[in-house]
Amino acid sequence: MKIFRMLAALGVMASAVTAWAQFDPTVRDAGSKMRGEAITGHEYRAAQRSAQARSQTLYHYYAQPKPIVTKEQAKEAAVAIKKDIKEADTALAKLKKAHAKEPEVVKLIEGIEKHHAKAHEFCAMTEKELEEESAKSETMADCCSNAWHELEAAKSDTDKLFKMLNIKELEPPKKAAPAAKK
C-alpha cells in the first residue's frame, strides 16, 4: 500500500512538472541542446559581452600615441569581434523566433539587432582601415569606440529584454574543492 501511495505521489509530481514545463520556454528536454533548440538568452549575452570587451581592448591599444599591437593582431581582434557579434545575432534570432507572438519582445530584439548592425559596420571600417598601408591610430580608435558604444546600447536593451522575459543572470560557478593528491 505504501508503494502504491509513493508511486501515485510521484505520478502527480511528474504531471505537475510536465504541465509547468509546457508553459515555461526556458525548460527543455535533454536533446534540445544537441538539436540546437536550446534557448536561454545567455548564449547571446556571452557573445555580446565578448565582442564589447574585444572592442574596448582594441580601442585602448590604438588610443595610444603609438599602437602597441601589430596590424595582424588588430585584424585578428576585428575578425573576432565580428564573429562574436554574429554569434550573438544567431542566438538572438532563436530567442526572437521563440517569442515571435510577443510584439514588445520582438521590438526590443529588433532594436538590439540594429545596434549590432552598426557595431558590425564599425568593425568593417576597422578592417578597411587596416588594409591601408598607413592605418591611422585615430581612425582605428574612433571605430573601436563607436563599436563599443553600440554594444553598450545593445547591452542596455538586453537588460530590459532579460527583465521582460524573466531570464535570470547566471550565477558564478562555485569554487571547486581542491583536487585530491594521489
pLDDT tens-digit series, residues 99-131: 999 999 999 999 999 999 999 898 888 888 888
Cα(120)–Cα(95) distance, rounded to whole angstroms?
20
Which CATH number characterizes residue 151's domain?
1.20.120
* Four-residue CA torsion sign, 79, 87, 34, 30: positive
Above 50 in pLDDT, residue 134? yes
Look at the chain and report how many structural domains it folds into: 1
Q: Which of the four pLDDT bands, split at 50, 70 and 90, describes residue 73?
A: confident
Classify residue 144: in a domain, yes or no: yes
Q: What are the cell numbers at 106?
A: 520582438
Residue 11 within any structural domain of the chain: no
Q: Which domain holds residue 156?
A: 42-165
Report the alpha-carbon distance of residue 27 to residue 155 in Å, rounded.
24
User: Per the domain annotation, does 18 fall within a domain?
Assistant: no
Q: Is residue 3 part of a domain?
A: no
Is residue 7 in a domain?
Answer: no
Q: Name the percent of the chain lying above pLDDT 70.
A: 70
The model's pLDDT over 34-54, given as tens digits with 9 standing for 90+, comes to 666 655 667 777 888 888 888
Q: What is the pLDDT of residue 67?
A: 59
| In a domain? residue 32 | no
Per residue in 2-11, pLDDT (tens digit) is 554 444 444 4
Amino acid 150: pLDDT: 93
Residue 54 lies in a domain: yes
Domain annotation covers residue 71: yes
